[in-house]
Amino acid sequence: MRYLTEYKTPKFVLIHSVRYAVLLRIIQVVIFTYSTLYLLIYRKGYQIHDTTVISSVTLKAKGIGQVGMPPNKTIIMDVADYVIPPSENDAIFIMSNFIQTNQKQSICPESIRLKQAICINDDMCSNQPFIPAMNGRWTGRCLFTPEKNIVNQTGAAIKSSTGLCEYAGWCPPEDGDSSSMYVQGVPKFTIFIKTFIEFPLFGIKTKNMVDNLKPCVFDSVYNKDCPIFTIDYMLKEAEYDITERDLMLRYGGVINIKLHWNCNLDRNVKLCKPEYTFTRLDVPFREKPFSVGFNFRYTSTWKQNEEHFRTLTKAYGLRFIITVSGNAGKFNFITLTLNIGSLIGIFGIATFVSDVIVLYISKKAGVYRNYVFEKVHLKPKFDEVKDHVELQVEKNEDQLLNDASNMNT
């Protein structure tokens, strides 16, 4: 019944002290300022947020490059030549350097760079296990070249004491030491980044292009809305060392282009624009990694007079990978009330800190504790039994005295 008929309220103790009152108010002002200005306004605690982004990215490269080839010839390359493959999902490869080898199906000596191919008799070529670096199927013959010494590469017209194993496949083998063909003008190429995104929670769709977009090049000060970037700008943002940038153009590299959308949907959605960030993903050359740069091989094959021919190309270049992230916020009354309730609860920190200072650190902490805390002393069980016995003895003595009085009367 007391649970239903009684109302309990906490006990408050008022301490008349300007020092501690000012301390409490200062702490409350700091908490209020932090909660209101930072959590509620700057961090937009009144909004519900969606970090799930559905995106589609298209990359288009533009630019004309040229390659010097002996003897005193120049090849002009356009997008169809240096963008390999023509289309990728959220990525693009720009070839900046390459090595070409014209080959046909035949039999020929192995590459001198393969040490296991150096031989002195046919047995050394027929008893070899599979080697991943083989250029074809070994025939079991050891070929000697009389025109020059194969090992020392001298011009002496004597028969060499060592030879190279013969293989059947595409001949001649690729010569990695041959002069590579550098594509000039790559830093001036441009890449157009066309992105469409959707925030499914709000059903909002937008893009990174303004409605009246004209031919332009991105500039961080004068043209921030332009989604067209030069390769030179992206290289400088991803790698600050000029030597590393030159090596990336020669041996390849991988660059991540990150688009982060931070959208306030309480305003016009057209004001929502991405922030572009460029970072290098491959290992820098100065760290001397096991595998440097980025490269791959591809071929173009044809048949003529019943013979098979191909051009093997080892392509070096820059691979750009796109990643898209986002955070969209919109006013929500339920979110606002929940955050306000949480902020009100934070004010309890001010009272807690002040209580610690007043009750445990201040000079009169003992006096304040006597007013705040009420001590209740409970007797042990033995003392309770003793008191009960003494009470019964006193009652018995009083009863005997009353009986004696009655008898005398």
172 prior amide bond cis, ω within 30: yes
Within this chain, do residues 257 and 135 fall inside the same structural domain, yes or no? no
Other beta carbons within 10 angstroms of residue 60's beta carbon come to 14
Task: Decide: 310 and 300 in contact? Cβ < 8 Å.
Answer: yes
Within this chain, do residues 254 and 155 fall inside the same structural domain, yes or no? no
Within this chain, do residues 271 and 185 fall inside the same structural domain, yes or no? yes
DSSP class per residue in 64-76:
-EEEEETTTEEEE
Domain CATH code at residue 245: 2.60.490.10
Instruction: With respect to residue 104, please indicate whether it lies within any of the assigned structural domains.
Output: no
Within this chain, do residues 118 and 129 fall inside the same structural domain, yes or no? yes
Instruction: With respect to residue 105, please indicate whether it lies within any of the assigned structural domains.
Output: no
C-alpha to C-alpha distance for 49 and 335, rounded to whole angstroms? 10
Residues whose CB falls within 8 Å of the CB of residue 201, separated by 6 or more in sequence, listed in order? 48, 50, 52, 328
Phi, psi for 368 (deg, rounded to 5): -65, -35
Other beta carbons within 10 angstroms of residue 285's beta carbon come to 18
Within this chain, do residues 197 and 285 fall inside the same structural domain, yes or no? yes
pLDDT of 323 reads 95
pLDDT of 59 reads 93
C-alpha to C-alpha distance for 407 and 403, rounded to whole angstroms? 6
pLDDT of 381 reads 56
Residues whose CB falls within 8 Å of the CB of residue 316, separated by 6 or more in sequence, listed in order? 95, 96, 97, 98, 180, 250, 251, 252, 293, 294, 295
Within this chain, do residues 264 and 322 fall inside the same structural domain, yes or no? yes
3-state secondary structure of 149: coil
Structure tokens at 297: 């091989």
Instruction: With respect to residue 1, please indicate whether it lies within any of the assigned structural domains.
Output: no
Instruction: With respect to residue 309, please indicate whether it lies within any of the assigned structural domains.
Output: no
Within this chain, do residues 251 and 277 fall inside the same structural domain, yes or no? yes
Instruction: With respect to residue 106, please indicate whether it lies within any of the assigned structural domains.
Output: no
Instruction: Tell the residue number behind the tokens 């309220």, with chain if given.
Output: 9
Task: Decide: 1 and 309 in contact? Cβ < 8 Å.
Answer: no
Q: How many domains does the chain have?
A: 4
Within this chain, do residues 245 and 327 fall inside the same structural domain, yes or no? yes
pTM of this structure: 0.77
Domain boundary among 172, 191, 215: 172
Instruction: With respect to residue 348, please indicate whether it lies within any of the assigned structural domains.
Output: yes
Tell me the CA distances in angstroms from 268 to 49, 65, 276, 314, 326, one per residue in order: 16, 42, 21, 49, 17
Domain boundary among 151, 172, 193: 172
pLDDT of 155 reads 47
Instruction: With respect to residue 187, please indicate whether it lies within any of the assigned structural domains.
Output: yes
Within this chain, do residues 198 and 138 fall inside the same structural domain, yes or no? no
Residue whose C-alpha is closest to residue 284's, from 231, 233, 239: 239
Tell me the CA distances in angstroms from 409 to 395, 398, 406, one per residue in order: 21, 17, 5
Within this chain, do residues 237 and 320 fall inside the same structural domain, yes or no? yes
Please count the CA atoms within 13 angstroms of the CA of 73 that sit on its side-chain side.
5
3-state secondary structure of 407: helix
C-alpha to C-alpha distance for 193 and 190, rounded to whole angstroms? 10
pLDDT of 150 reads 45
Instruction: With respect to residue 81, please indicate whether it lies within any of the assigned structural domains.
Output: no
pLDDT of 399 reads 61
Within this chain, do residues 245 and 323 fall inside the same structural domain, yes or no? yes
pLDDT of 149 reads 46
| Domain residue limits at 152 | 111-172
Q: What is the pLDDT of residues 327-373, one digit of tens each?
A: 999 999 999 999 999 888 888 888 888 888 888 888 888 888 887 77
Within this chain, do residues 55 and 201 fall inside the same structural domain, yes or no? yes
Q: In the chain, which residues have pLDDT < 50?
A: 148-151, 154-157
b/e map 360-388, b = 16+ CB within 10 Å:
eebeeeeebeeeeeeeeeeeeeeeeeeee
Using alpha carbons only, how large is the chain's radius of gyration in Å? 43
